[in-house]
Amino acid sequence: MTTPAPVIEIRDLHKAYGALEVLKGVSIAAPKGHVVSLIGSSGSGKSTLLRCCNLLEDSQQGDVLFKGEPVAWRGSGHNRRPADAKQVLRIRTNLSMVFQQFNLWAHMTILQNVMEAPVTVLGRERADVEKAARGYLDKVGIGDKSDAYPAQLSGGQQQRAAIARALCMEPEALLFDEPTSALDPELEQEVVKVIKDLAAEGRTMMIVTHDMKLAADVSDTVVFLHQGLIEEQGAPDTLFAAPKSERLRGFLSATHAA
């Protein structure tokens, strides 16, 4: 039996902003049902890597594959762009992203926020989407907030609404970009619980996080990025208990001291 291709695979990815090289040849894969956490200092390239996975950022070199299908490019270097807009839309709708700052529409209720993309982007039936949306809001523990507006919710509730919105796209994988860093510690735990529940369900996820406990608890693989390269990666038990590289040891001790 052949092993299915990873849901997300990055091969030798390079990304620069002008002369500043942010990713210097990174290869990473998230097989179906696996959780991959990206850790590292600010500026190490974690969020950029996640945005390149979702084609929110264009890379200059290397391959991005979705379930074994490579993204088609035209041009080269800083002029490289995806060649097929339909392919980009299909990949993006299958890789739902949850951002640090929630990005909810202020003028829409929470239910409307969750329903908007499946109805307008995917063209699904409104009644079906509403039923699914209410189910996902229940799942993340804010079913009673469906008629509220974002400004009426705490940060933790807003982030859980953003997760429900991502789930309502029925994606192949979820991408989390520092999902808890804008939250107070007690609200952070509400979101961590949801992410842990999703991991326990066997969802494919890629998580950029500063929360080492979250990374240790939910990940199949932890990847430590340093200055645009993978310094070390492995199972969380090994990586956190016995880091091989001096840089990772320094990073972990600084994180624990913070």
- Separation CA 223–CA 161 (nearest Å): 27
Question: Quick one: the chain helix, strand, coil %, rounded to 5?
Answer: 40, 25, 35
Confirm if 97 and 54 have CB atoms less than 8 A apart.
yes
pLDDT at position 228:
95
Instruction: Note the pTM of the prediction, 2 decimals.
Output: 0.93
Domain 8-257 has CATH 3.30.300.30: no
**CA torsion angle for 48, 116, 168, 110 (degrees, to 10)?**
100
Contact partners, residue 33, CB within 8 Å, separation at least 6: 202, 203, 204
Chain centroid to CA 88 = 17
Q: Structural domain boundaries of the chain? A: 8-257
Walk along the chain (258 residues) and give the pLDDT tens digit of each residue: 678 899 999 999 999 999 999 999 999 999 999 999 999 998 899 999 999 999 999 999 999 999 999 999 999 999 999 999 999 999 999 999 999 888 899 999 999 999 999 999 889 999 999 999 999 999 999 999 999 999 999 999 999 999 999 999 999 999 999 998 888 888 898 999 999 999 999 999 999 999 999 999 999 999 999 999 999 999 999 999 999 999 999 999 988 755
Q: What is the DSSP letter of 4?
A: P
